[in-house]
Amino acid sequence: MTGRRAVEVLPDGDTLAAAAAARIAAAAEAAIRARGVFIVALSGGETPRRTYQRLAEASGTTRLPWSQVQVLWGDERCVPPDHPDSNYRMACDALLDHVAVPAANIHRMRGEDEPAAAASRYEGELRELLRGPAARIDLVLLGLGAEGHTASLFPGGAALHETRRWVMAEYVPVVSGWRVTQTLVLINAAADVLFLVSGARKADIVRRVLEGPAGSGPPAELPAQAVAPARGTVRWLIDRDAGAELGKGSR
Ligand code: 6PG
């Protein structure tokens, strides 16, 4: 059975962040009610920052029982944790430094380590955390790069085609740097995936990914199209600018 897909277009970046924070809070509440824990994989880049800030606000419906939340990352740049490009640093600045999540619940990809060693260590940590037949990531947050990458699964990269490992390191020529990334093996085993995409510069790639021809298997061209949890939902929250090309057919 292939999973379900839902696309929601919000007026702007702020309403996108509010909707995403509410969706994450709802997923957390359901997971904690069912299993006593919410395992979430954060995405990097810039788009999720406002969502993380909303989650950090103590008010309203997005208040989470942080002691029961396990925080992972979908990918990381191979830089130290205090580097401006670090996805971990962005999440700390916007969220984790402002909420009472126990340090032991924060599972950081060690960007400062040799990349393959960091990937192998992270896989071991996740295999320890996700023991047992029912254990899986409850929610994977993902972004979308202008050329179709998601997490650090880039067009033409080897990590995109991995069928066994959960985490891999890869040199990514288009960003001239090493990345550590979850592979589709782990992402597609998640209960739910939430893409957050904002801004006019993503409009073309959003159309191509959501309305273009879907490849059979993980397409080398559009990695985001290969995100399809067998037993889960892929939900897209996009703002109006990023959704501007939807429904206009292929040119
Ligand atoms: C990263 C992300 C990456 C990101 C997209 C979109 O480490 O950069 O994991 O997949 O989500 O590149 O980035 P923006 O939100 O900055 O456009």
**Mind listing the pLDDT tens digit for each residue in 121-136?**
999 999 999 998 778 9
The predicted-structure confidence for 3-38, as pLDDT tens digits, reads as follows 678 999 999 999 999 999 999 999 999 999 999 999
CA-CA distance, 148 to 239, in Å (whole number)?
17
Quote the CA–CA distance of 184 and 191 in Å, as a whole number: 13
Q: How confident is the model at residue 61 (pLDDT cuts 50, 70, 90)?
A: low
Q: Which residues contact 221 (CB under 8 A, 6 or more apart)?
A: 148, 155, 215
- pLDDT > 70: what percent of the chain? 93
Percent above pLDDT 90 for the chain? 87
Q: Using CB atoms within 10 Å of the CB of residue 180, give its burial: 0 to 12 exposed, 13 to 18 middle, 19+ buried.
A: buried
At 1 the pLDDT is 38
Ligand 1 close to Cβ of residue 46 (< 6 A): yes
Q: Which two tokens stand for residue 217?
A: 């298997």
What confidence score (pLDDT) does residue 63 get?
Answer: 74
- Is residue 222 within 8 A of residue 156, CB to CB? The reply is no
How confident is the model over 180-208, as a mean pLDDT? 97
For the record, the structure tokens of 42 come out as: 């954060």
Q: What is the pLDDT of residue 215?
A: 54
- What pLDDT sits at residue 59? 57
Q: Which pLDDT does position 250 carry in this prediction?
A: 54
Mutate to test the pocket of ligand 1, among 79, 149, 167 (most ligand atoms within 8 A of CB): 149
Kindly state if the Cβ of 44 falls inside 6 Å of ligand 1. yes
Residue 218 has a pLDDT of: 46
Contact (Cβ atoms closer than 8 angstroms) between residue 195 and residue 166: no
Instruction: Determine which residue's CA is closest to atom 7 belonging to ligand 1.
Output: 44
Mean pLDDT within 145-156: 96
Closest CA to 91 of 78, 68, 109: 109
| Probe target for ligand 1 pocket from 49, 50, 87, 144, with the most ligand atoms within 8 Å of CB | 144
Residue 15 burial (C-beta neighbours within 10 Å; 0-12, 13-18, 19+): middle
Separation between Cα atoms, residue 122 and residue 120, nearest integer Å: 5
Q: Mean pLDDT over residues 96-115, rounded? A: 97
Given a cut of 60, whether residue 70 has pLDDT beyond it is: yes
Whether the CB of 87 sits within 6 Å of ligand 1: yes
Q: What is the pTM of this model?
A: 0.95
- Report the number of secondary-structure helices (H) and strands (E) in the chain: 6, 9
Q: CA–CA distance from 184 to each of 129, 148, 164 (Å)?
A: 18, 14, 9
The finding on whether 111 has its CB within 6 A of some atom of ligand 1 is no
